[in-house]
Structure 1
């Protein structure tokens, strides 16, 4: 219908614009790297600070573009359905987050994680975002992130709990809005798109996501995932997975 066409057009527009933005950004980054390598010692203190600001802004812009691309793919692209061992997937996430985990000496643990039929790429993205946030927005020593799961009638309910800075209750309703930065997190790096991506992914899979948190007492992000019947995955979904811009894992 008309609404679906508008959504497709908007997603395609976001995808194209994001790709086009990467070209000038790569030029900025390349010349900034040249300055850093060849002329950094020649610059005075102000010049070095300006160059540092350019590099930080470039990194932030790259993260924004990558987040826009991810958002444009969710719902537009169904990656391959398969049986996913969540314990093995968590181990992959821990390996990819190893620099952050080691830098803050964080402890990430998972308990009773099941196997389920779902879209592996997207579930991994959700875990990356939620666990990464649990480490980043955390001043406790050591930061702890715990992933647990309970079975429901239609699938599974996951909880990602941390001992971080927590979220004021009056800000919960704004938490999943696109590029929303909460006041007490403004000094942390990031674009504020991670939770929006999580929400869109989980809803595209037929689940829900919400938060339970108080400021100063950590946060629990809870989401549900239906356990898909692999026999019910349609040919069109498989076709979309094959043409998923490299997202599908083979």
Structure 2
């Protein structure tokens, strides 16, 4: 007896976003520029739709979890309080994911203002924001004293440093030395940014995978995983500016993440 045909599964918004992001990294036949423009527009539409669809239930989820904590705290035992904590953590992760999805879709759109930026100012701002976490983790952040100016949109340059340094902090583990080094140099018409850590490193078979959206290979020491969007954002910023992003395993331990950006 022939089995009845299975109904075709309608792809979800998430499936469509993931498929489009994979396609954007592949060369296309025909008019590449027009094809890329079309795909970017479709990707942005899918992401905006997905973000809108997720926001309403997310607001309700977080709102009711806060009410449980505020109005029913005396009725919750330790297990109940733990469940509320988990609900709030999941909701906060979803908030970060929506934010990162929207950021990814907006990279390269109108409103960006590339200019010569002093990376010392950007790194000083980031170091101040990360100081409580760096102190708690006993991690030393080493930044260059006299780096060259970098031609980039300031917000995008901040995102590059923030995601690369944040990624290094998250994957530091218990390794020594507890240090993250930032280097910036100019070579052959390019700015090259390198963020080196001395953590667990990255298996060579995952060198490309970690730059894909939604990929997060490991959790931090507190058992938390990120949205898996940080390195995808870094790569898209680099490629939108005409550069690239990649990772290498330096001699010894850890990983070196590199980003190149044209000087003009």
TM range (shorter): 0.7 to 0.9
Q: Which runs of 5+ in 1 are unaligned?
A: 229-250
Partners of 1:215 and 1:63 in 2: how far apart? Answer: 34
Aligned to 2:147: 113
Aligned residues: 228
Equivalent residue for 1:211, pick from 225, 247, 258? 247
Indicate how the Cα distance of structure 1 residues 188 and 113 shifts in structure 2: closer, same or farther if over 3 A, else same: farther
Aligned to 1:93: 126
Equivalent residue for 1:163, pick from 198, 215, 227? 198
Indicate how the Cα distance of structure 1 residues 206 and 3 shifts in structure 2: closer, same or farther if over 3 A, else same: closer
Partners of 1:125 and 1:181 in 2: how far apart? Answer: 18
Range 43-52 or range 66-75, more displaced:
43-52
Equivalent residue for 1:195, pick from 231, 235, 239? 231
Indicate how the Cα distance of structure 1 residues 183 and 130 shifts in structure 2: closer, same or farther if over 3 A, else same: closer
Partners of 1:199 and 1:10 in 2: how far apart? Answer: 16
Matched, 1:151 2:181: no
| 1:97 partner SS | helix
Asked whether the equivalents of residues 170 and 220 of structure 2 are also in contact (C-alpha less than 8 Å), the reply is no
Partners of 1:184 and 1:174 in 2: how far apart? Answer: 16
TM-score, length basis structure 1: 0.83
Equivalent residue for 2:66, pick from 25, 28, 33? 33
TM-score, length basis structure 2: 0.79
Indicate how the Cα distance of structure 1 residues 189 and 155 shifts in structure 2: closer, same or farther if over 3 A, else same: same
| Structure with larger RCO (C-alpha < 8 A, sep 6+) | 1
Indicate how the Cα distance of structure 1 residues 22 and 142 shifts in structure 2: closer, same or farther if over 3 A, else same: farther
Partners of 1:189 and 1:215 in 2: how far apart? Answer: 27
Partners of 2:219 and 2:75 in 1: how far apart? Answer: 38
Q: Which runs of 5+ in 2 are unaligned?
A: 1-33
Equivalent residue for 2:256, pick from 202, 205, 220? 220
Deviations 1:151-186 (A, max 9, x none): 112121111001111111222131211111226779
Asked whether the equivalents of residues 169 and 214 of structure 1 are also in contact (C-alpha less than 8 Å), the reply is no
Range 207-216 or range 153-162, more displaced:
207-216
Q: CA deviation at 1:202?
A: 0.6
Larger Rg computed on CA atoms: 2
Give the RMSD, CA atoms, in angstroms: 2.3
Deviations 1:180-214 (A, max 9, x none): 12267794421211111111111001111110127
Partners of 1:21 and 1:155 in 2: how far apart? Answer: 40
Indicate how the Cα distance of structure 1 residues 78 and 211 shifts in structure 2: closer, same or farther if over 3 A, else same: farther
Q: CA deviation at 1:2?
A: 4.6
